[in-house]
Structure 1
Amino acid sequence: MTQHVVTQTPQFFLTAPSPCPYIQGQFERKVFTHLVGDRAPGMNDLLTQGGFRRSQNIAYRPACESCRACVSVRIVTDEFAETRNMRRVQHRNSDLIGTMFDAQPSTEQYSLFRTYLDARHRRGGMSDMSVLDYAMMVEDTHVDTKVIEYRRRGPDSFITGRGEGELIAVALTDKMGDGLSMVYSYFDPEMEDRSLGTFMILDHVARAKAMGLPYVYLGYWVNGSPKMNYKVRFQPQEHLTARGWERFPIED
């Protein structure tokens, strides 16, 4: 009798070329695999350390034929030093508090998410996401994924540890063995003067330090893409190169 052996070795697939959203005239391809089952958390750790990102139960990384502009970035939390501008951002948002929950979507989250997309990414690849699509983005995970909701501090926040009132910003975050990986974040676009994107990264650095985790993974930095420039402001940081993770700026 023939026996069929089920392998737990992940299978990798390659997407067809499509226009690059970051560099005009370039085409992108991605290599991806599925993150499912009991091995998903460990596999997600290894793949993230190897330059992959997670979207729902998919881990992917660029595999472009003629371009290597996308570079994985992670902040070194123990040595991180805030700049004067970052301290101002912290002060500006001192009335906010983030509360971490298990990854569960809500209508309030989706409403803010929809407002954010319509204001900031109307023509982006996520612009037509429905409430069901959003729920899948949050819930479809086999790893330790958290949602952090940011609200204003209230009279009881020092007791409950939670903010109160309207939802101002949200971060979808994976907790890994060596760090926090920021999967996606969004905020109230009418509060642009608060620099909420910067504030959420600073909050993740503080959380990683408190958890004893050495890194915060920021995804990809694309040299030459203005909307990615903010990522290199968080120093010290490491970039994944052909020689492994190296401090940036890289010294010869």
Structure 2
Amino acid sequence: MRSERIRLFLTLPHACGYYSDRAAQNLVLDPAAPNLDRLYPGALAQGFRRAGGHLYRPRCARCQACVPCRVPVQTFTPDRSQRRCARRNADLTLHPTEPVYTEERFALYKRYLRSRHPGGGMDEAEPEDFRHFLSAPWSPTLFLEMRKDGKLLGVAVTDVCVSGLSAVYTFFDPDASARSLGTFGILSQIELARERGLEYLYLGYWIEGHPKMDYKRRFRPLEVLREDQWVPLDE
């Protein structure tokens, strides 16, 4: 990450969000550093990810299941299921917009969390949770809105860096689950990266065999970061 100096912190062990019987730790770039915006592209290339105002990378003592992954957008080829998803959503309009809070977006966000994470605490989100989780003052974020006849059906939150786009989070109308808007959001970000002449869409972490994380292998070719080298997943 250039020659800029930055402090790194290791969090205390905490409950893993993916495996209930494991503890997790994260390596975090100093959230008070004044140059996070400049460090962000290089951090992405080194396997970091943004959540709110923090850039982090898993650093767990007994587990290396979380593997950074990215899609090289120029060589990406959708499979049959992804092509069907694109056709199914051809009636939607996409609006890249500023990452600001609105009542409409927050209402959709709350409905999504209540449907996907009932009883886990996230389903009781407040406006500040929306603001603090999805964007940060220094982050180059945009909200890619998906609308049908003006109605907001989904939002893909993406960060725009010189090294590529980073898919931060997608939330959508639970009643529109048949549209597979999570997949459509990734396909839309791949196309947006192509339009902007960017090389990659960073998808965060892939976990082999995990029911919520293994889907990322379907976006091919997928590259993963192993021993500080990006290599095709198939290798």
Give TM-score scaled by structure 1 length: 0.87
**Which residue matches 2:163?**
178
**Which residue matches 1:121?**
117
Q: Deviations over 1:70-128 (max 9, x none)?
A: 00110010001111111110110001111111221111111000000000112446333
Extract unaligned runs of 5+ from structure 1.
Answer: 1-7, 153-163
Identity of aligned residues (%): 36
**Which residue matches 1:140?**
136
Once the two structures are TM-superposed, the CA of residue 39 in structure 1 deviates from its matched residue by 2.5
Among residues 166, 174, 188, which one is paired with 1:189 in the alignment? 174
Paired residues in the alignment total 232
Give the aligned CA root-mean-square deviation in angstroms. 1.6
What secondary structure does 1:231 align onto? helix
Give the conservation status (yes or no) of the 8 Å contact 2:142–2:157.
yes
**Which residue matches 1:203?**
188
Once the two structures are TM-superposed, the CA of residue 35 in structure 1 deviates from its matched residue by 4.8
**Which residue matches 1:219?**
204
Once the two structures are TM-superposed, the CA of residue 42 in structure 1 deviates from its matched residue by 2.1
Residue 89 of structure 1 pairs with residue 74 of structure 2: no
**Which residue matches 1:18?**
14
Matching of residues 4-15 of structure 1 within 5 Å: 9-15=5-11
After superposing the two structures, state which structure 1 stretch, 50-59 or 63-72, moved more.
Answer: 50-59
Give TM-score scaled by structure 2 length: 0.93
- For residues 34 and 143 of structure 2, the distance between their equivalents in structure 1, rounded to whole angstroms, comes to 21
Moved over 4 A (4+): 35-38
- For residues 19 and 33 of structure 2, the distance between their equivalents in structure 1, rounded to whole angstroms, comes to 36
After superposing the two structures, state which structure 1 stretch, 196-205 or 8-17, moved more.
Answer: 8-17
Give the conservation status (yes or no) of the 8 Å contact 2:134–2:169.
no
Computing the radius of gyration over CA atoms, which structure comes out larger, 1 or 2?
Answer: 1
Once the two structures are TM-superposed, the CA of residue 62 in structure 1 deviates from its matched residue by 0.5
Give the conservation status (yes or no) of the 8 Å contact 1:37–1:142.
no
Residue 30 of structure 1 pairs with residue 21 of structure 2: no
1:89 maps to amino acid? C
Among residues 73, 95, 98, which one is paired with 1:99 in the alignment? 95
